[in-house]
Amino acid sequence: MKLNNISEVQKFIDAVSKSKSEVWIESSEGDRLNLKSQLSQYVAIGALLSNHGEDYELFCASKSDVPLFLEFFSENPDTL
């Protein structure tokens, strides 16, 4: 899922926290940031809020975590 504008940061982090498996964002250059790590979360949120936030894509290791993010995206459609 390609990300665009994360305006509801806490709700996004809540969705990450509820996920059971690994969740990460990947840049167009191939850099990966694991969102289950708090340190990586800070770096990732900074990257998503920057002018190049649209260069990142969200991935879930488990398909069972996808509905958490689909719910987040349906409540925050400007994120995609």
pLDDT digit string, tens, across residues 9-66: 999 999 999 999 999 999 988 999 999 999 999 999 998 888 777 789 999 999 999 9
The pLDDT of residue 79 is above 90: no
Neighbours of 76 (CB within 10 A): 16
Q: What is the pTM of this model?
A: 0.89
2 in any annotated domain:
no
| Residue 1 lies inside a defined structural domain of this protein | no
28 burial type by CB count under 10 A (0-12 exposed, 13-18 middle, 19+ buried): exposed
**Amino acid 12: pLDDT:** 95
Q: Please check whether residue 4 lies inside any domain of the structure.
A: no
Number of domains comprising the chain: 1
Domain that holds residue 44: 9-79
4 pLDDT band, cuts 50/70/90, is: confident
**Residue 26 domain flag:** yes
Would you say 25 and 50 are in contact if contact means Cβ atoms under 8 Å apart? no
